[in-house]
Amino acid sequence: MTVLLPLLLLAAQAVEVHPAGPSVPENLLRIELRFARPQRLPFDVGRLALLDERGQPLDRALLDLALPSADGRRITVLMDPGRVKSGVGPNLDAGRALHAGETLRLRLDGDAVVKQWTVGATLSQPLQPAGWRLSAPRAGSRDALRVELGEPISSSGESLIAVVDAAGRRVSGTIALADGDTVWRFTPARPWRTGAHALVTHPALEDPAGNRSCAAFEQVHASALECEAGTTLPFEPLALPGGRGRRHP
C-alpha cells in the first residue's frame, strides 16, 4: 500500500479515470480515461493493463479498440462484451474477467497504477432515471442543479442529460459528475429564471454496465432494442431567496 498510494497520486495529476467511485460491478463494460493532454491517435490499448489483486494482468479482459474524443483527451476502452454478457460464446468459454469481492487495478504505460476498485455484484437491471432526486436551485442565482442518481452512470453519457425551459429550449451551462459518478451537476451560464424547467435524458444513456432505461445489457437481444424516448423530470427554480431545494419526486 505504501508503494501504491504514491503511484496513484502521481498518475492522478495526468489522467482522471471513470468509473470514478471505489467500486465497479462484476459486469463492467467500459472505462474512460480523461487526460490532461491530447493523446496520440489511434490510442494503443496495449498501454493499459487490468491487474488482479495479486498484481497479475487479466488476460483478454479489454478489447483492442479505443474510442477517442475528437480532441484526443478522452479515451474510452471496452471490456470484452462477449465475456461480460452471460450465455454467449466468449462468456461460456472463459467467463467474466472480473469477480465480485476482488480488487482491480488499472495500470497505464507499464508502471503507473492510475485507479483501484473493489469489484461488486453484477448490475443487471435497466437504468432508472425516474428515481433520480433533484435539488432545485434558487431563481435569479447561478446555483448548480444537483441530481442524485443513486447509482453511477457511464461517464461518457454525462452529456446525454440536459436541462430545458418551459418552451423546450436547452438551457446553456456546464455539467460535471461528482461523488463517484453518482451525482450530476449543472451550472447555468446565466441566472435561473422562474417557471417550469425539466431535466431530460437521452434514450442512449447507460450505466457502467451498459444498462439503458429500456433494457438491461444482460437482456436477450438488448443491443437490437432501441429506446424510443428518454426520461423527463420537471422542476422549478425556487423563487424564495435562500430557499432550500425541492426534491423530486
The predicted structure's pLDDT at residue 11 = 45
pLDDT on residue 227: 84
136 and 176 co-located in one domain: yes
pLDDT of residue 110: 86
Question: Residues 144, 216: one domain?
Answer: yes
Look at residue 244 and tell me if it is in a domain: no
Q: Is residue 173 part of a domain?
A: yes
C-alpha–C-alpha distance, residues 77 and 32, integer Å: 6
Residue 135, in any domain of the structure: yes
Q: Give yes or no: residues 8 and 102 share one domain.
A: yes
Are residues 134 and 97 both part of a single domain?
no
User: What is the Cα–Cα distance from 77 to 222, expressed in whole angstroms?
Assistant: 20
- 31, 17 contact by CB (below 8 A): yes
Q: Do strands 197-201 and 232-235 pair parallel, antiparallel, or not at all (unpaired)?
A: antiparallel
100 and 164: one domain? no
Residues of the chain under the 50 pLDDT cut: 1-13, 243-249
Looking at the structure, tell me whether residues 78 and 138 fall in a common domain: no
In a domain, 205, yes or no: yes
Query: How far is residue 79's CA from residue 90's CA, in Å, rounded to a whole number?
Result: 12
- Specify the CATH number for the domain of residue 162: 2.60.40.1220
8 Å CB contact between 45 and 77: yes
Domain of residue 149 covers 129-235
Among the listed residues 113, 110, 138, 114, the one whose alpha carbon sits nearest the alpha carbon of residue 197 = 138
Name the domain boundary from 120, 152, 167. 120
Cβ neighbours of residue 139 closer than 8 Å, sequence gap 6 or more: 191, 192, 193, 194, 237, 238, 239
- Phi, psi values for residue 86, rounded to 5°: -65, 140
C-alpha span between 222 and 83 (Å, rounded): 15
Q: Are residues 164 and 107 in the same domain?
A: no
Of 120, 148, 182, the position where a domain reaches its end is 120
Q: Closest by alpha carbon to 139, among 159, 165, 178?
A: 165
* The three cell numbers locating residue 212: 439503458
162 with 101, same domain?
Answer: no
| Domain presence at residue 136 | yes
Let me know whether 115 and 153 are in one domain.
no
pLDDT at 222: 62
At which of 93, 120, 147 does a domain end? 120
- On whether both 141 and 84 belong to a single domain, the answer is no
Grid cell digits, residue 223: 443491443
Are 141 and 171 members of one domain?
Answer: yes
Does 98 reside within a domain? Answer: yes
Q: What is the pLDDT of residue 81?
A: 95
> Domains in the chain: how many in total?
2
The pLDDT tens digits of the residues spanning 37-93 come to: 999 999 999 999 999 999 999 999 999 999 999 999 999 999 999 999 998 888 999
Residue 6 grid coordinates:
504514491
Q: Do residues 225 and 188 lie in contact, with contact meaning Cβ atoms separated by under 8 Å?
A: no
Q: Are 114 and 156 in the same domain?
A: no
